[in-house]
Structure 1
Amino acid sequence: MNGQFGDPLLFLVRALFDLAIFVVLLRYFLQLFRGNFFNPLTQSIVRMTDPVLRPLRRLLPHSRRHDFAALLVTGVLIVVMVVVLAAMSGKGMPGGGVLVLSALYFGFLSVTNLFFWTVLLRALSSWLGNSGSPAVALLADLTAPLLQPVQRILPPLGGLDLSPLVVLLGIQVLQMVVGNLLFG
């Protein structure tokens, strides 16, 4: 079943893990960036993650901005994903060092991909002019800490904000550099 274009089952399993990881990471970054928890989409994310995170919060230290339970769940999901994908691809259980390195790399990719897609969606939504929707507000909460430093350095040119392009290019370059350092 694994041909020139890859294994569709591996793709689906990876996509399901990525979606679960993204939801938990959204919860973490919304708290870190002090997102609007009255937003209906944010409330949906909270409802989806609360059954897992609430019991863990009783065991882990508390912080106003850092949700350590969300970080723990993200880490566990990434490790399980690496093990499951390795087993499904017939490579067997990765050794300790490979497992840690792979988990760190997939965690890095999850965070950078989350920000890549949120910045891209925010830029596209700005062209559509639907700035009052809860989805656009959620994207603004998540991307403002990345875009504002670039916007201070690079002002809009004739009404055109190039900061999303700079951030997207920066994320891709960072992914390449880290990938080459770890696996090059």
Structure 2
Amino acid sequence: MNTVGSIGTLLVSTLGTIYLMAILLRFLLQLSRADFYNPITQMIVRFTDPGVLLFRRFIPGIRGIDLSSLVYAILFQCAAMYALIFMSGYSFPNFGLILTWGLAGILNFILNIYFWGMLISIIASFIAPFSGHPALVLVRQLTEPVMAPFRRILPAMGGLDLSPIFVFLAIQIIRITLVLPVGANPAFVLGM
């Protein structure tokens, strides 16, 4: 790979990862019913509106789930993988393999968002438990629907919340069973 290809790969993977994260955050924040008027949510919506609104014309939402942003994220992942493969000088694999890698990459990216969101939420609960900072409020709103089922199952342990441990275990089990067997090439899949 030449210098131009290396710079192109760096730019596509970095900027593509940031944009894909914004698309997935939009999907997950809408799924978790986060505050739409949070300034960070507003920024994410404005940043991703052009592509999502284009897909929303053709793909309706189902029961409050914005399928247009999810389909947009999958297609963006596949397009970015094609661009990275092209810049690396490899021959293109068939679309089925690209789509499988893309779906595995999207699932892995969502798991990473929840992993880091949970970690931020845990640290913030020790450092600033009653903070009203928009970023921390958004992280809590994002992770609460994932932790709530585990909180219902586990009894209260004298002020200790053990549900994040089981969420981390669930994330790793999903990653081991659904993402790793696909064998996606991390050099081409965003978020891997």
1:152: how far off? 1.5
What are the superposed Cα offsets for residues 56-111 of structure 1, whole Å, 9 maximum, x if unpaired? Answer: 32333244512122112101111012212222333321223321221121121122
C-alpha distance after superposition, 1:104-129 (max 9, x if no partner):
21121122112112111111211211
Distance in 2 between the 1:61 and 1:20 partners?
A: 22
TM-score, structure 2 normalization: 0.81
- List aligned pairs for 1:146-161, cutoff 5 A: 146-161=146-161
**Partners of 2:156 and 2:51 in 1: how far apart?**
42
Query: Structure 1 CA distance, aligned partners of 2:111 and 2:96?
Result: 22
Unaligned runs of 5+ residues in structure 2 are 185-192
SS in structure 2 of the partner of residue 168 of structure 1: helix
User: 2:133 is matched with which residue?
Assistant: 133
Q: 1:182 to 1:60 in 2, by over 3 A?
A: closer
Residue range with higher mean Cα deviation, 73-82 or 156-165: 156-165
| Cα-Cα RMSD | 2.5
Question: Which runs of 5 or more structure 1 residues have no equivalent in the other structure?
Answer: none
Question: Could you say what secondary structure the match of 1:116 adopts?
Answer: helix
Alpha carbons 1:25, 1:74 under 8 Å: kept: yes
Is 1:13 aligned with 2:16? no
What is the rounded CA distance, in whole Å, between the counterparts of 2:125 and 2:47 in structure 1?
A: 28
Bigger relative contact order, structure 1 or 2 (CA pairs below 8 A, ≥6 apart): 2
Distance 1:131 1:88 in 2: 45
- 1:44 is aligned to 2:43: yes
Question: Take 1:11 and 1:112, find their aligned partners in 2: how far apart are those partners?
Answer: 23
Aligned residues: 180
Work out the CA distance in 2 between the residues paired with 1:172 and 1:86: 28
